[in-house]
Chain A
Amino acid sequence: MRFEDYQLDGFFDEMFQPDGSPRPGSALLYQRLRSLSDGDLTRYQQSAERALLNLGITFQVYSDKEGTEKIFPFDIIPRIIEAAEWRVIESGLRQRIYALNLFLQDIYSDAKIIKDGIIPADVIKSAKTYRANCEGLKPPQGIWCHVTGTDLVRDRDGQMYVLEDNLRCPSGVSYVLENRRVMKNTFPSVFADLHVRSVSDYPGKLLDMLQNLAPANAVNPEVVVLTPGIYNSAYFEHSFLAQQMGVELVEGRDLVVHNGYVHMRTTRGLQKIDVIYRRIDDDFIDPQAFRADSVLGVPGLMEVYRAGRVALANAPGTGVADDKVVYAYVPKMIKYYLGEEAILPNVPTYLCWIDADRQHVLANLDKLVVKAANESGGYGMLVGPHASEAEREKFAGLIKANPRNYIAQPTLGLSRVPVLVDDTIAGRHVDLRPYILYGKDIYVLPGGLTRVALKKGSLVVNSSQGGGSKDTWVLSNNPARSTQHGNANGST
């Protein structure tokens, strides 16, 4: 495989140093890639894609009978994170999740952080994702955000920033596990010699965390995964996680509230359940408490939850911290609740509801990225330098009409990694979504989903907009691996 034409183009490259030599952790992978004959990598790539298709790791593009099912695009070259860097990321994520959970606990009870003047009450109460009917809730063990998928990006200077927290129903962890499985099968030689930390115990950790939430009197807690159903784009993941944990995958219509408890409808009548890992947004989980038109949820669920007779992960109401204006205050939360500086910085954020910020944003629309406070998936967003004059005008109007709903950030030069493009290697921009579980303690899955913008020059990594994924290899501290010993019969 030839790297001679590979260009860094002034971006931070996850595999190469600025002088073009591989980073220490990537040296072995680089050697292996170079030693491959032309076409080998393409063949690996194709066999990986075939494996993903056969495993049915697909999402539906159209909803006609056969549908057009596509695999989530996958790139065969792994992204490597060295042990020392991972230690920083891991401690930064622990710190951040710990503080965010304290924030959620506080904001729905005493709201001290408002009283102490750290965050204006307006900012919280005007967030679309603030749930007034979660005030006074006491989730089991005081934990709100059980599963988080924080989005991290690296700028040109090499610094990792937190881009989004994703405290509601972050998806993608199934791709982390399945990408790894496919990589082990299709690319075993490289994998064997690098000391890559395993991700395979995630389902076990998730199950432990969920069982730990069960009401104290539940002896063998019944845990279920609640999905919106087969037409949801993340359905594969819901069924995958249920399967890997060995628990039931239920839809709203399988559940019913009866005698003050949540039950599922089984072949032997109703069966009580204790913990629901719900992959349905707050708005839809209970038509009596939230959106009355929801047919996906379970009428009366919130009453049972409030009474402590069923546990939900994540707790309802966590979305308030995903509001991009609230996000801007996370470093202050860390300082306020923990007395520490944030280990992982936020991307500098201008808040359009503040006059000075807004004026700066309006004057610099051609340099900034503007985002709606409550959108995700790359929607409701303006990438100033790539936008037309008309688009910028449109956003200027939107900002002036509803300043609370917009924030702006500098356009980051996201770091790049080598990607296989038509038999050659080219640099593409990536982000990183690690997954964090908050149970008895905080667990950070070593690795995460590396999303890659497969379109040349694109900064948008979302799968709905031409993004793909890569396996993410976090190297272990201990590079020494003993050779395998066998008995005398095996060694001849």
Chain B
Amino acid sequence: MMLSRVADSIYWMSRYIERAENIARYINVNLSLMLDQQPDGQNQWDALIQITGDHAAFKAKHGAATLASVTNFLAFDRDHPNSIFSCVRAARENARTVREAISSEMWEYLNRLYLKVRDRAAAKDLFQIEEGSQFFTEIRLAGNLFDGITDNTMTHNEGWHFCRLGRMLERADKTSRLLDVKYFLLLPSLSDIGTPYDELQWSALLRSSSAYEMYRKRHGRITPDKVVAFLVLDHEFPRAMLYCIARAQESLHNITGTPLGTFANTAEQQLGSLRSQLAFSSAKDIIRSGLHEFIDEFQTTLNEVDASIFQNFFEIRTVQD
């Protein structure tokens, strides 16, 4: 039992940090990919903007996608609600309203992180390649550190489960976007399939999910269907979509006390059927019927789950006597 407002803030605090981490992952992988770019390669910065789903806002503001414009937009733009800076700020603002519900270590870490990102965002100079990937590596690490601090300092009570629920739903969404962009935007150059460049892209994709080594251990050679199998359907890899959905579902059922396999509200129903769908799919089926369509539907379902969570747990309704 906890305040609806507090649960809401914890859930979003966690989502925003995960989001910031994933944006840093996207940028990081693009920076390294850029260095391997073929001279006639397509504009991968444009692809990056596509992943985030903020293409329209970006275009209106910057027009052409370049290293500097995309990086500054995604990392430091204070008016862009999904920039790293905005996400860290929002995570910290949410944490500030629930300081009494989280551990002081969580708050203090998030506050320090905010101060650091704010200072970088306030610096006048735009991001240039010479700055290197260190900042984004730090943000990636920050997400992991925050998760670790959360797991080790906060009682695994209802608040913690809302935290994990938010983190896992956000991560599932972000992994799906990453996969989508490779498949949908980079793949169409059919002549590249099976070339060293194709493998380079798949490796970069795996690396941005911290999945490269784990994939190698599991499947060895890099092939598109195996990558899909790994990032969508793996039970054990912590950034795989199925893994995330399974953990989110566990947390949701921990919050309500409803036994797994049954449901007592729409959020449980939607998440349960999504998990079953993933658990009983194969990569070949998914690719045959269209990976992009599959991912699109997946993201739509996640949005519905999010709306149901809001209605079931956070929304303030008038009390009838």
Q: Does B bind A? A: yes
A residues sitting closer than 8 Å to B (CB atoms) are: 53-56, 65-66, 225, 230, 239-240, 242-243, 247-251, 253-254, 256, 258-259, 264-268, 270-271
Q: For A66, give its contact among B89, B99, B319 (CB under 8 Å).
A: B89
Residue total for B at the interface (Cβ-Cβ under 8 A): 30
Known: A56-B96, A251-B5, A266-B1. 18 other contacts (CB 8 A): A54-B108, A56-B108, A66-B89, A230-B93, A230-B97, A239-B96, A239-B99, A242-B100, A243-B104, A248-B2, A248-B3, A248-B101, A249-B101, A250-B3, A254-B4, A258-B319, A268-B1, A271-B1
B4, B78, B89, B118 interface centre (most CB from chain A within 10 Å): B4
Q: List 25 A-B contacts (CB under 8 A).
A: A54-B108, A54-B111, A56-B111, A66-B78, A225-B100, A230-B96, A239-B96, A239-B99, A247-B100, A248-B2, A248-B6, A249-B98, A249-B101, A251-B5, A253-B5, A254-B5, A258-B321, A259-B321, A265-B4, A266-B1, A266-B4, A267-B2, A267-B3, A267-B255, A270-B319
Residues of B within 8 A of A56 (CB): 96, 99, 107-108, 111
Q: Is the interface of B mostly helix, strand, loop or mixed?
A: helix
Q: Is the interface of A mostly helix, strand, loop or mixed?
A: mixed
**7 nearest A-B residue pairs (beta carbon):** A243-B100, A242-B100, A56-B111, A239-B99, A249-B100, A267-B313, A268-B1
Q: Is B158 in the interface zone, CB < 8 Å from A?
A: yes
Closest beta carbon of chain A to B26's beta carbon, Å = 24
Q: Is B316 in the interface zone, CB < 8 Å from A?
A: yes
Residues of A within 8 A of B107 (CB): 56
Q: Which residue of B lies closest to A56 (CB)?
A: B111
Q: Is B7 in the interface zone, CB < 8 Å from A?
A: yes
Task: Give CA–CA (A239, B9) in the complex, Å.
Answer: 14
Task: Give CA–CA (A239, B98) in the complex, Å.
Answer: 8
Known contacts A251-B5, A264-B3, A267-B158; is-contact A240 B99 (Cβ 8 Å): yes
Residues of A within 8 A of B316 (CB): 253, 265
Closest beta carbon of chain A to B297's beta carbon, Å = 29
Q: B118–A66 contact, CB under 8 A?
A: yes
From 106 to 154 in chain B, residues with beta carbon under 8 angstroms from any chain A beta carbon are 107-108, 111-112, 115, 118
Q: B3–A265 contact, CB under 8 A?
A: yes
Q: Which residue of A lies closest to B315 (CB)?
A: A265
Q: A55–B255 contact, CB under 8 A?
A: no
Known contacts A54-B115, A267-B7, A267-B158; is-contact A239 B1 (Cβ 8 Å): no
Closest beta carbon of chain B to A459's beta carbon, Å = 34
Residues of A within 8 A of B6 (CB): 248
Q: Which residue of B lies closest to A268 (CB)?
A: B1
